[in-house]
Chains A and B, each alone.
Chain A
Amino acid sequence: MADITHTAPTEDRQARRINWGAVSDHAVLIAGALFMMAPLVMLIQMSTIPDAEIMQTGPSLEIGNQFWPNVKKALLGAMSFSGEDTGLSMFRSSMILGLGFAVGKIVISMLAAYAIVYFRLRFATFAFWLIFTTLLLPLEVRIVPSYEVTQKLGLLNTYGGLIIPLIASATATFFFRQFFLSVPDELVEAARIDGAGPVKFFIDILVPLSQTMIAAIFIIMFVFGWNQYLWPTMITTDESKYTLVQGIKQITQSLEGTHIPEFGRSNLLAVLAVLPPVAVVIFFQRWFVKGLTESDK
């Protein structure tokens, strides 16, 4: 009994002692997070007050009553005469582009890496390095021929035209190749003895094993696709297929006009453009870190 009454208070004191290291860590992180959030908060604040007022005062601490009208304008209002480039339609285009990019690139590059790593192809290594060197030729360098090919295929102003010409990914192929190379050979052999052919092995074993890798690539490629500006601008003239990133540019153009710029509306569109990448990262971040750092085989 004596023992217990003696040790209990010391334990208590230990538990109550403040870990200053952790506090300062958190303080730095919270400060950093607030700092990063500030522009976003300012955008939202400005969208609550009338545009004319912003012209005079700029960002302030005032919360006005224009938020919902601005939301409605941003989502449903069109910027052009055709009336097809509403916030919602641009959001949909961006989403199709981002998802199409991410999913397409993952499928194509996984299949390419599977072929390179697991099949006795002639020139497999050569093919891999050939794919790899395309990293040296980013879209900007080859935009004219790419445009020409797309145009000849009749893919201008289609989602296919937005996605398919950019769907091959040397980066993703490289990552998947490295990952597949690290999968132990015995696993393939065990699967062979268990009667799994190439397709079964890919679907039943390799794809589930690559989960974390797929998540990591998905984030990178989704954000990459979502943020595309140059390519959609080249390919789409049809306003119903404009993406958010294109739309934001249009609003900045209108800032140069003579009438009062629509700050509230453009700010909300900018927020809208930021949300999906943020959501994707938050949703996948656990796998993302895992996929790039550790392997659980």
Chain B
Amino acid sequence: MAKLTLSQVGKTYAAGSQAAVSGVDIDIADGEFIVLVGPSGCGKSTLLRMVAGLETVTEGEIRIGDRLVNHVDPADRDIAMVFQNYALYPHMTVRGNMAYGLKNRGESRQAINDRVEQAARMLELTPYLDRKPRALSGGQRQRVAMGRAIVREPAAFLFDEPLSNLDAKLRVTMRGEIRKLQRRLGTTSLYVTHDQLEAMTLADRLVVLNGGKVEQIGAPLEVYNNPASTFVAAFIGSPAMNLLDAQVEGGTLMVEGHRLAQVARDAGPVTVGLRPEDLVLSTSGLPLRIDYVEELGAQRIIHGFIGDQPAAVADGSPDAPLSDIVHVTAARADIHLFDTTTGKRMDLPAETQIAEATA
């Protein structure tokens, strides 16, 4: 068990090509569960594999504990990895799969046996210890892969989308199990996923990556409530946050010519972010021309247009009748403002709250 430090880590695959990862700084505390999340191709796997030692580090430093591991062999980094396709050895039994790493380390047979039995008990794999992976279900294979990581008692677990080959229901169950297991073992973990829901539910802290760069690091709720950029805003949360072009005119935030709120800002264009679940139907506010409605049971998602900008509203009273045009408003605290050109969050100065109160 150890902390994990990445400083200015970067990776360029072929000389001259664009960096797959660049300038990544993350300090991971001992026992922390960190989730790397981002769209496909943003460099999550590359970063994880650099920590594992499966890719060379072309820039920066990676430390496990206090040890610089840039040039340390994967086997000597004291990490364990769970792969997306599990990468179990097909010709070995479950027991053999879990024991293989320990055997190579030269542990005594007794110690290996004890640890394998213990891990199997923890993962409810005891009845399957003498089966080959071929004879196991996807979920069981996934647990064997976990078991193989656990028995090594590593300083850190590395997960690369370990649940994405499972069906939706099993994924939710396994997600819970991974979280419980990690809490129980208290092992520092780095987990890669492109599923923002998985990221939100598992993480102590999220690292949102975009194009090989860190976009935001923070606790899930912090990232959800204060997205640092339009990219994070659109990526975290489902349905995705509405991002609308708006204008500040004389201290008033206008969307498509309709007043949304008072803000103490210089006049000019801004991007306003509104979460569908923060929008409320009312008699006045922004007019939303309804396109179609998704019924989800507990709520419905109303998709439509404000002016000609698409927007969605999560409506918690699915039984009320709807007209063709509804009006939506949002509380001032739920309105996120972003710079139109850079996409960066514009933090709301305190006076806006006052302006809101006096408005």
Asked if A190 lies at the interface with its beta carbon under 8 angstroms from chain B, I say: yes
Chain A contacts for B80, CB-based, 8 A: 193
Check A194–B87 contact: CB distance below 8 A: no
Chain A residue with minimal CB distance to B154? A193
Instruction: Judge whether A138 is part of the interface by a CB distance below 8 angstroms.
Output: no
Are B100 and A204 in contact, CB atoms less than 8 angstroms apart? yes
> Does the CB pair B87–A195 fall under 8 Å?
no
B105 touches A190 (CB 8 A): no
Instruction: Select one of A184, A192, A211 contacting B54, CB under 8 A.
Output: A192
Smallest CB-CB separation from B92: which chain A residue?
Answer: A208
Per-position contact with B for A166-195: 1 when CB-CB < 8 Å, else 0? 000000000000000000101101111111
Contact-residue bracket for chain B = 20 to 34
CB atoms of A186 and B83 under 8 A apart:
yes
B79 beta carbon closer than 8 Å to chain A = yes
Neighbouring A residues of B134 by C-beta, 8 Å: 296
Question: Of the candidates A189, A196, A204, which one forms a contact with B83 in the assembled complex, judged by CB atoms under 8 Å apart?
Answer: A189
Instruction: Establish whether residues A194 and B100, one from each chain, have CB atoms under 8 Å apart when the complex forms.
Output: yes
B85-103: CB near A (< 8 Å → 1, else 0) gives: 1011111000000001100
CB-CB under 8 A for A192 and B74, given A184-B87, A208-B91: yes
Q: How far is the CA of A1 from the CA of B200 in the complex (A)?
A: 58
Contact indicator B79/A193 (Cβ below 8 Å): yes
Residue B81, interface by CB 8 Å: yes
CB atoms of B74 and A193 under 8 A apart: yes
Most B CB contacts (10 A, CB to CB) among A186, A193, A204 go to: A193
**Chain A positions within 8 Å of B104 at CB level:** 194-196, 200
The answer to whether the Cβ of A209 comes within 8 Å of any Cβ in the partner chain is yes
Contact in complex: B87, A190 (CB < 8 Å): yes
C-alpha spacing A193/B82, complex, angstroms: 10
Q: Is A297 a contact partner of B90 (Cβ separation < 8 A)?
A: yes
Q: Is A205 an interface residue (CB 8 A)?
A: yes
Contact A193 B81 (CB under 8 A): yes
Which of B54, B91, B148 contacts A209, CB < 8 Å?
A: B91
Q: Does B75 contact A (CB under 8 A)?
A: yes
Of the candidates B79, B81, B84, the one having the most CB atoms from chain A within 10 angstroms of its own CB is B81
> Does B52 interact with chain A (Cβ within 8 Å)?
yes
Which of A184, A193, A194, A211 interacts with B85 by CB under 8 Å? Answer: A184
Which of B84, B89, B101 sits near A205, CB closer than 8 Å? B89
CB contact under 8 A between A190 and B75, given known A195-B101, A195-B105, A196-B104: no
Q: Interface size bucket, A side? A: 10 to 19
Contacts of B101 in A (CB 8 A): 193-195
A208 to B79, alpha carbons, bound, how many Å? 26
Which chain B residues lie closer than 8 Å to A205 at the CB level? Answer: 89, 91
Task: Determine the distance from Cα of A194 to Cα of B84 in the docked complex, in whole angstroms.
Answer: 17
Chain B residues in 8 Å Cβ range of A208: 91
B residues within 8 A CB of A204?
Answer: 100
- Chain B CB within 10 Å, residue with most, of A186, A190, A209, A296: A190
Other-chain contact of A187, B54, B73, B81, B89 (Cβ < 8 Å) = B89
Give the docked Cα–Cα distance between A96 and B89 (Å). Answer: 35
Contact of A194 among B53, B54, B75 (CB under 8 A): B75
With contacts A192-B75, A194-B101 taken as known, whether A186 is within 8 angstroms of B85 at the C-beta atoms is yes
Q: Which residues of B contact A192 (CB under 8 A)?
A: 53-54, 73-75
Assuming the contacts A194-B100, A204-B100, asked whether A189 and B105 have C-beta atoms less than 8 A apart, the reply is: no
Q: Give A209 to B91 CA distance when docked, in angstroms.
A: 7
Chain A residues closer than 8 Å to B105, beta-carbon distance:
195
Cα–Cα distance between A296 and B134 once the two chains are bound (Å): 8
Interface string of B10-22 (1 = CB under 8 A from A): 0000000000000
Interface residues of A in 72-104 (CB under 8 A from B): none
Find residues 278-297 in chain A having any chain B CB closer than 8 Å to their own CB.
296-297
Q: Distance in Å from the Cβ of A193 to the closest Cβ of chain B?
A: 5
**Closest chain B residue to A208, Cβ basis:** B91
Complex CA gap A250/B61 in Å reads: 75
| Contact partners of B52 in chain A: CB under 8 A | 189, 193
Q: Which residues of A contact B81 (CB under 8 A)?
A: 189-190, 193
Q: How far is the CA of A267 from the CA of B108 in the complex (A)?
A: 60
Bound state CA distance, A187 and B81, in angstroms? 12
The smallest C-beta distance from B96 to any residue of chain A, in angstroms, reads 10
Residue on B nearest A189 in the bound complex, by CB: B54
| Bound Cα distance A200, B134 (Å) | 23
**Which residues does chain A contribute within 8 Å of B75, judged by CB atoms?**
192-196
Q: How far is the CB of B141 from chain A (nearest CB, A)?
A: 13
Closest CB-CB distance, B147 to chain A, in whole Å?
13
| Closest CB in chain A relative to B120 CB, distance in Å | 17
- Cα of A204 to Cα of B97 in the assembled complex, Å: 11
CB distance from A195 to the nearest CB of B (A): 4
- Of the candidates B83, B90, B100, the one whose C-beta lies within 8 Å of that of A296 is B90
Chain A residues with CB under 8 Å of B87's CB are 184, 186-187, 189-190
Q: Are B90 and A190 in contact (CB under 8 A)?
A: no
Interface set, chain B 17-75, CB cutoff 8 A to A: 52-54, 73-75
Closest 10 CB pairs of A and B: A186-B87, A194-B101, A195-B75, A195-B104, A190-B87, A208-B91, A186-B83, A193-B74, A192-B74, A194-B100
Interface residues of B (CB under 8 A from A): 52-54, 73-75, 79-81, 83-85, 87-91, 100-101, 104-105, 134, 148
Q: List 7 A-B contacts (CB under 8 A).
A: A186-B83, A186-B87, A192-B74, A193-B52, A194-B101, A204-B100, A297-B90
Known: A193-B80, A297-B90. 17 other contacts (CB 8 A): A187-B87, A190-B81, A190-B87, A190-B88, A190-B148, A192-B53, A192-B75, A193-B53, A193-B74, A193-B79, A193-B101, A194-B104, A194-B148, A195-B75, A195-B101, A196-B75, A211-B91
